[in-house]
Copies of this chain bind each other. A is one copy, B any other.
Amino acid sequence: MAVYTDVTDEDLEGFAAQYDIADVVSFKGIAEGVENSNFLVQTDDGESYILTLYEKRVNPADLPWFLGLMRHLAGNGVTCPLPIPGRDGEALRTLAGRPAALFSFLKGLSPRRISANHCAGVGAALAQLHRAGAEYPATRPNALSVEAWRPLFALARDRADEVQPGLAAEIEADLADLERNWPTGLPKGVIHADLFPDNVFFRGEAVSGVIDFYFACADLYAYDLVIAMNAWCFEPDYAFNVTKARRLLAAYDAIRPLSPAEVAALPLLARGAAVRFLLTRLYDWLNTPAGALVRPKDPLEYLRIARFHRGLPGPGAYGLVA
C-alpha cells in the first residue's frame, strides 16, 4: 500500500487539461494497490476519478490490452473501472515519466471481515466476468501459470528453508505433482487471476465493483475460481470455511455452470493456485529490501492452504453437492 511516484502541480494540471473533466479540487494518494500508484481525484462538479500511474511491475506493452479489457467488461455488464479517454480519444498517456490512465470511480467498500454472503457475491461476479470476457481476445498468456512456477521456484529455492525448514523439498514435491497432473482441455478464457478481497467492492453485501485487472490473462476459468476460493474462504486462523466455499462455488455455478471435469479438477487446481501465491510471496519475502514501502506478505499462509488441498479426498470437501 503505497504511492511510489510524486506528481507535481504542473504535471497534474497538464494531465487534467487533456480531459473533458471539471477543475481538479482534490488529489490524494491512496493506500491501495501494491503494484501501481493510485490517486483519488475529485473535481469541482462533485465527480471522483482514480488516476493510476503504472510502476515497474506492469509491462507497458500490456496496458492497451488491460484497458481494452476493462472497456469491454464495462460494456458487457461488469462494474469495473472504465478508462476515460482524453479529448484526443486516448485513454493511455504519460504522467511524471510513467504510463498513466484516468478511470471512473467505483463506489463501495472492500470487505475486511468476509461473510458467506460476500463469498456468494464474489462467485457470481466472477462467473459474470468470465462470461462477459468470453468475446474479448484472450491473447495475453498467464505469466504465472503452471509452467512458470518452476523457473520462479529456482529463484527462491536456495533460501526457501530460511523461511521454514523443509520448505524447498515440500514445494518441489508439490510442483512435480502439479506438473504431472495439471488438467488439459478444461474451459479457458480471460480470467482476473487476482480476485482478492482488496479487489472487490461491496455496498452492504452486494458486489458494487471489481478492480485491478493487471494480472488478467488467458487461463482456465476453474483456476480463477479456486484463486478466489483460496482468497475468500479461509478464516484468519487458516481454517477452511466450507459454508463460504459452498456459497462461492454455487453462486458461480448458477451463472457459469461447471463441467464435471472442472469440478473433478478443483482440488488440484486449488493446490496449484496456493503454490502460485506461495511462490510469488516467497520470492518477494526473500527479495524485498529492508526499508521498502510495502511489507511483503507471509508466504507460509499459502503453504497451509496448499497443504489443506493436498490432503483432500475430492471436491466434495468444498461443499459441492454432487
- Can you list 6 residue pairs at the A/B interface with Cβ under 8 Å? A2-B2, A9-B112, A27-B109, A30-B40, A42-B48, A290-B290
Asked if A316 is at the interface (CB within 8 A of a chain B CB), the reply is: no
Within the complex, the shortest CB–CB distance from A241 to chain B, in Å, comes to 17
Q: Which of A255-270 contact B (CB under 8 A)?
A: none
Contact of A8 among B3, B12, B107, B112 (CB under 8 A): B112
Copies in the complex: 2
Q: Which of A90-133 contact B (CB under 8 A)?
A: 105, 107-109, 111-113
Chain B residues near A111 (CB-CB < 8 A)? 9
Within the complex, the shortest CB–CB distance from A38 to chain B, in Å, comes to 9
Given A29-B32, A46-B46, A107-B25, check contact A113 B1 (CB 8 Å): no
Contact of A31 among B3, B8, B25 (CB under 8 A): B3
Interface string of A1-25 (1 = CB under 8 A from B): 1110011111010000000000011
Instruction: For the complex, give the distance between the alpha carbons of A6 and B29 in Å.
Output: 17
Chain B residues near A292 (CB-CB < 8 A)? 291
Within the complex, the shortest CB–CB distance from A272 to chain B, in Å, comes to 29
Q: What is the interface size of chain A, counting residues whose CB is below 8 A from a CB of the partner?
A: 35
Q: Do residues B29 and A30 form an inter-chain contact, with CB atoms below 8 A?
A: yes
Q: Do residues B295 and A293 form an inter-chain contact, with CB atoms below 8 A?
A: yes
Asked if A28 is at the interface (CB within 8 A of a chain B CB), the reply is: yes
Q: Which 9 A-B pairs have the closest CB atoms?
A: A290-B290, A29-B31, A25-B107, A8-B112, A3-B31, A28-B30, A46-B46, A8-B113, A27-B109
Chain B residues near A40 (CB-CB < 8 A)? 28, 30, 40
Asked if A297 is at the interface (CB within 8 A of a chain B CB), the reply is: no
Asked if A307 is at the interface (CB within 8 A of a chain B CB), the reply is: no
Asked if A203 is at the interface (CB within 8 A of a chain B CB), the reply is: yes
Q: Which of A187-240 contact B (CB under 8 A)?
A: 203
Chain B residues near A108 (CB-CB < 8 A)? 25-26
Within the complex, the shortest CB–CB distance from A51 to chain B, in Å, comes to 13
